[in-house]
Amino acid sequence: MSRTPYQNMQAVKYAKAYCSQNNNECGVYLSGSNLSDCAHFLAHCLQAGGITIKKSAAEDPLCPHGLTTRNTVLVDALRALAAKYDNVKEIDLGETILGDVGFLKIERPRHAFLVSKPGPLPGGFNVPFVWAHSSSRCDAQLDTDWRQWLSTAFRLEDG
């Protein structure tokens, strides 16, 4: 297998720059009317690192850069990349480190975030600190009860 071009620290740099803003590089922040910016924000983080995940044919063109705004599209695309490249791996939340990507699942992936650092808790649990939009989080620890709903996480190494 080969490695897909990616620079983890570029994704981290984007997350740090935009986590506290109601904005993205494209000038759009999705909120209200059943809109949430978490997937859109993460798509921008990934693009900053070198992986572009475009919107699906069924999505409204909400991002002027054509990036996806859906968590399900992100998860499917990351799983496809993991099957093709050595530097993309699906992992458990408890294994996450700086720059890993996570998705909260309630029936389907509903919330996306970039891990800023692991957050060890008593009993061996690792509830990470994250950067995210919609639930504005800038290096803030996820609530411990979120761990049970976490669908998946991905490690994207430099390539």
Domains of the chain: 8-156 (3.90.1720)
Residue 136 corresponds to which amino acid?
S
Decide: helix, strand or coil at residue 16: helix
Q: What is the pTM of this model?
A: 0.91
Digit-coded pLDDT (tens) for 63-92: 999 999 999 999 999 999 999 999 999 998
What number is the average pLDDT over the span 97-110? 81
20-58 tens-digit pLDDT = 999 999 999 999 888 889 999 999 999 999 999 999 998
Question: Distance between CA 106 and CA 99 in Å, rounded?
Answer: 23
Does pLDDT of 105 surpass 80?
Answer: no
Which tokens hold the place of 138?
A: 């800038």
Give mean pLDDT, residues 10-22: 96
Q: How far apart are the first and last CA of the chain?
A: 12
Locate 68 and state its tokens. Answer: 């996806």
pLDDT greater than 80 at residue 140: yes
**Helix, strand or coil, per DSSP, at residue 138:** strand
